[in-house]
Structure 1
Amino acid sequence: MSRPNQGEKTRAAPIFKAPKTPAPLNPIPSSSPAFGTPAYPIKPFNPVAVPAKASILPVILPPATLRPLAFRTFTKKHSLTLTSSALQVLATFIGRHCGTEWREEGLAERVLEEVAKSWKNRNGGVIVDGEGNDLKEILKNLEGSMAGGRIVASRELSRQNSLVLGSSQNGEVSHTRLGLRPSALGREDSQSSLGMSTLDVEDDEEDEGLRDPRKWLKVIDAFEQPRLVYNVGKKHFDRDTSKPSLLPSASHKTQVFRNRYNLIHQRLLRNESFQTSTFETSKATLKRSSSTLATTQQSYKLTPIANLLGRNGTNHMILGLLTISPTGTLAINDLTGSIALDLTHAKPIPEDGAWFAPGMIVLVDGTYEEEDSVGGALGGSGGVGGTIGGKFVGFFVGGPPCERRKVTLGLTGDGDGGVTAGGGFGWVDFLGVGSERAVGSKMRKLEQRLLRPATDEDDIGGKGRVIVAGELNLDQPRTLEALRKLLGKYAAEPEEDTPMTFILMGNFVQDAVMARGSAGSIEYKEYFDGLASTLSDYPTLLQSATFIFVPGDNDGWSSSFSAGAATPIPKKSVPEMFTSRIKRAFATANAEAEKEKGKKSDGEALWTSNPSRLSLFGPTHEIILLRDNMTSRLRRTAIKFSSSKPEEEDVDMAGTPVATPEPEPEPEFEAPEMDVDTAVQAAESHIPDPATEDALATDLHVARKLVKTILDQGYLSPFAMATRPVLWDYASALQVYPLPTAMVLTDTEAPAFCVTYEGCHVMNPGSIVAPGRRGVAKWVEYDIRKKVGKVREALF
Structure 2
Amino acid sequence: MVRSMRAAIVKVFSTKYSLTLSAPALDYIEHVLREVRSSDHDRAALMSSPQNEIAQDGWIDALEFWAREYLKGEDTTSIVSLPGLKRAYEILQLGTTGDSQSIDPSEVNVNAHFSVVDSFDMPAVHFDAVRGGFIVAKTKPDIAGTAASRSSYLRERWGIIKEVVQRNENFTPPAVGGHDRANYLKLTSTCNLLGRAGQLFLLFGMLSRDPEGRLTLEDGDGRVVLDMKDAVPGEGLFTEGCMVLIEGEYTIEDNVRVLAMGHPPSEKRDVARGLYGHVDFLGGGAISLKDEEKFLPTVLANTQVSFVVFSDVWLDHPRTLVALRRVLEGYADAAEYRPMVFVFCGDFCQRGWEGEGGLKAYTNGFNALTDLLLSLPLLHQSHFVFVPGPLDPWSSSTLPRPALPPVFSKRLLSRIPNARFVSNPCRLRYFGQEIVICREDLMGRILRNLVGVKSGEEVADMKRYLVQTVLDQAHLSPLPQSVRPTLWEFDHALRLYPMPTALVLADKYERYELTYEGCHVFNPGRFISAGTGGEFEWSMYYPATGRSERSALSLDD
Query: TM-score when scaled to structure 1?
Result: 0.58
Task: State the secondary structure of the residue aligned to 2:176.
Answer: coil
Q: Does 1:702 align with 2:462?
A: yes
Flag structure 2 segments of 5+ consecutive residues without an equivalent.
1-11, 30-59, 68-80
The aligned counterpart of 1:253 is 150
Query: CA 1:188–1:712 in 2, change beyond 3 Å: closer, same or farther?
Result: closer
Give the superposition deviation at 1:523: 3.2
Task: Return the alpha-carbon distance in structure 1 between the equivalents of residues 159 and 407 of structure 2.
Answer: 41
Distance in structure 2 (CA, Å) of the matches to 1:113 and 1:120: 15
Counterparts of residues 39-188 of structure 1 (less than 5 Å): 113-115=18-20, 121-123=26-28, 183-186=86-89
Q: Does 1:512 align with 2:512?
A: no
Pick closer, same or farther for the CA change 1:792–1:773 going to 2, 3 Å: farther
Between the aligned residues of both structures, percent identity stands at 30
Aligned to 2:138: 241
Distance 1:188 1:757 in 2: 30
Task: Read off the aligned partner of 2:413 and give its amino acid letter.
Answer: K
C-alpha distance in 2 between matches for 1:200 and 1:404: 31
Provide the rounded CA distance (Å) in 2 between the counterparts of 1:200 and 1:307.
58
1:536 — aligned with what?
374
Q: Provide the residue aligned with 1:408 in structure 2.
A: 272
Contact 1:513 1:556 in 2 (8 A): yes
CA distance in 2, matches of 1:793, 1:266: 43
Do 2:237 and 2:452's aligned partners in 1 also have CA atoms closer than 8 Å?
no
- Name the CA distance, whole Å, in 1 between partners of 2:299 and 2:470: 29
Compared with structure 1, are the counterparts of its residues 626 and 508 closer, same or farther at alpha carbon in structure 2 (3 Å cutoff)? same
Question: Matches of residues 326-405 of structure 1 in structure 2 within 5 Å?
Answer: 326-350=211-235, 354-371=236-253, 390-405=254-269
Among 403, 426, 431, the residue aligned to 1:573? 403
Instruction: Give the residue type in structure 2 aligned to 1:756.
Output: T
Once the 2 structures are TM-superposed, how far is the Cα of residue 468 of structure 1 from its aligned partner?
0.6
Amino acid at match of 1:528: F
Residue equivalent to 1:471 = 312
Q: Supply the distance in 1 between the matched residues of 2:321 and 2:533 (Cα, whole angstroms).
A: 15
Name the structure, 1 or 2, with higher relative contact order (CA <8 Å, separation 6+).
Answer: 2
1:654 alignment partner in structure 2: none
Alpha carbons 2:319, 2:533 under 8 Å: kept: no
Distance apart, 1:432 and its partner CA: 2.5
Shift of 1:399: 0.5
C-alpha offsets along residues 613-651 of structure 1, whole Å, 9 cap, x if unaligned? 11011xx1100010000111111100146x83xxx5xxx
Amino acid in the other structure paired with 1:769: I
In structure 1, the partner of 2:334 is 493
Cα deviation digits, residues 498-545 of structure 1 (max 9, x gap): 11111110011123323x33413x43222211111222332211x221
What is the aligned partner in structure 2 of residue 611 from structure 1? 425
CA distance in 2, matches of 1:250, 1:178: 35
Question: Partner residue of 2:8?
Answer: none
Deviates most, 522-531 or 466-475 = 522-531
Deviation at 1:794, TM superposition (A): 1.8
For residue 75 of structure 2, what is the aligned residue in structure 1?
none
Q: 2:538 aligns with which of 779, 787, 796?
A: 779
Provide the residue aligned with 2:49 in structure 1: none
Q: 1:633 — aligned with what? A: 445
Matches within 5 A, 1:590-739: 603-617=417-431, 620-640=432-452, 644=455, 659-660=457-458, 698=459, 700-739=460-499
Contact 2:440–2:506, Cα closer than 8 Å, also in 1: yes
Q: Number of aligned pairs?
A: 493
**TM-score, with length taken from structure 2:** 0.81
Q: Per-residue CA shift, 1:6-58, capped at 9, x if unaligned? A: xxxxxxxxxxxxxxxxxxxxxxxxxxxxxxxxxxxxxxxxxxxxxxxxxxxxx
* Contact 1:569–1:726 under 8 Å retained in 2: yes
1:228 aligns with 2:125: yes
Preserved CA contact (<8 Å) 1:302 1:319: yes
Q: Distance in 2 between matches of 1:428 and 1:607?
A: 26
Q: Equivalents in 1 of 2:250, 2:528: separation in Å?
A: 52
Distance 1:188 1:318 in 2: 46
Amino acid at match of 1:220: V
**Partners in 2 of 1:718 and 1:477 — Cα distance?**
37
**Structure number with higher strand proportion:** 2
Structure 2 CA distance, aligned partners of 1:121 and 1:707? Answer: 46
Match of residue 300, structure 1, among 181, 185, 194: 185
- Contact 2:25/2:82 (8 A) holds in 1: no
C-alpha distance in 2 between matches for 1:203 and 1:640: 55
Distance in 1 between the 2:210 and 2:178 partners? 45
Report how far residue 743 of structure 1 moved. Answer: 0.7
Structure 1: runs of 5+ lacking an equivalent: 1-76, 79-108, 125-154, 163-176, 191-196, 283-293, 372-389, 411-423, 454-461, 587-602, 649-658, 661-697
Q: Is the 8 A contact 1:117 1:189 kept in 2?
A: no
Q: For residues 140-169 of structure 1, what are the alpha-carbon distances to aligned partners after superposition, in whole Å with 9 as ceiling and x for unaligned?
A: xxxxxxxxxxxxxxx9xx99xx9xxxxxxx
Cα separation, 2, equivalents of 1:217 and 1:626:
18
Residue of structure 2 in register with 1:138 after alignment: none
TM-fit CA distance, 1:211: 3.8
Match of 2:37 in 1: none
| 1:120/1:185 contact within 8 Å kept | no
1:549 alignment partner, one of 371, 381, 386: 386
User: What CA RMSD, in Å, does the superposition of the two structures yield over aligned residues?
Assistant: 3.2
How many Å separate the matches in 2 of 1:119 and 1:339?
54
111-120 vs 272-281, which deviates more?
111-120
Q: Deviations over 1:217-265 (max 9, x none)?
A: 1001101112111112222110011232111222211011011000000
> Residue 502 of structure 1 corresponds to which residue in structure 2?
342
Aligned to 1:473, the other structure's residue is in SS state coil
Whether the 8 Å CA contact 1:358–1:719 is kept in 2: the answer is yes
Change (3 A) 1:189 1:221: closer
Instruction: Check the 8 A contact 2:502/2:519 in 1, yes or no.
Output: yes
Deviation at 1:575, TM superposition (A): 1.5
Q: Deviations over 1:262-292 (max 9, x none)?
A: 000001111111011122335xxxxxxxxxx
Q: In the superposition, relative to structure 1, how do residues 783 and 202 fare at CA in structure 2: closer, same or farther (>3 Å)?
A: closer
Please, which of 277, 301, 320 is the counterpart of residue 426 of structure 1? Answer: 277
